[in-house]
Chains A and B, each alone.
Chain A
Amino acid sequence: GAVVSQHPSRVICKSGTSVKIECRSLDFQATTMFWYRQFPKQSLMLMATSNEGSKATYEQGVEKDKFLINHASLTLSTLTVTSAHPEDSSFYICSASGLGDALNSPLHFGNGTRLTVT
């Protein structure tokens, strides 16, 4: 099946630094990638949707200047958390849909990145 690789799986950084998370589709072309955030005991919340070669669409309440998303190719999207603060500590998960995926196709998820900001 379709594989989505996310890296790193875990990162600890100091407050004020920036962290980049990569999401790669390994065996298919991901025309659309989604970035989610999940706080403990809560569900996944969609942060933004990115289409290859165009600007990401952010959900209400998500600061686009703080969470920079780049989807420069059909196999790679990156999320950069800029000037991270402890409240940004969370589980970040990407997912992707590819060319030819029907609307009722399930998403392919990366294995997530646990970010801890100290």
Chain B
Amino acid sequence: RKEVEQDPGPFNVPEGATVAFNCTYSNSASQSFFWYRQDCRKEPKLLMSVYSSGNEDGRFTAQLNRASQYISLLIRDSKLSDSATYLCVVNKDSSASKIIFGSGTRLSIRP
């Protein structure tokens, strides 16, 4: 089993739709969680951290479920500019050097 697993997609949804991704992690000791966005041939950029209580930033909502060991990202009212690959990132243990990237979920928003 991979340490961090994501549905690779691609998700192809119309503009304005709501789309959700899940990401599962295997290490119950994982400490911190993030969603990054990566555009083609660019470096990943932090989209949002994921907190235990769940958090929202505009159209984006992140949730953490420690019992089931997954995190989710919900995008509402999707825009064309949301087209990208979304990476789930998990800090494997208490060491900052053990950050594991998921393989990414590709999202394509169509007009």
Contacts and interface: CB of A to CB of B under 8 A. Distances in A.
Interface of A: 32, 34, 36, 42-46, 49, 57, 91, 93, 97, 101, 103-107, 109-112, 114
Contacts, number: 52
B42 A101 contact: no
Nearest to A97: B96
Secondary structure dominating the interface of B: loop
B102 A106 contact: no
B91 interface: yes
B99 interface: yes
A109 B103 contact: no
B-side interface size class: 20 to 34
Given A42-B103, A104-B32, A111-B42, A34 B91 contact: no
Contacts of A45: 101
Contact of B44 (A49, A103, A104, A109): A109
B58 to A, nearest CB: 18
30 contacts: A32-B96, A34-B99, A36-B101, A43-B87, A43-B101, A43-B102, A44-B101, A45-B101, A46-B99, A46-B100, A93-B43, A93-B44, A97-B96, A103-B31, A103-B32, A103-B94, A103-B95, A103-B96, A104-B32, A104-B49, A105-B96, A106-B34, A106-B36, A106-B46, A107-B46, A109-B44, A110-B43, A112-B42, A112-B43, A114-B41
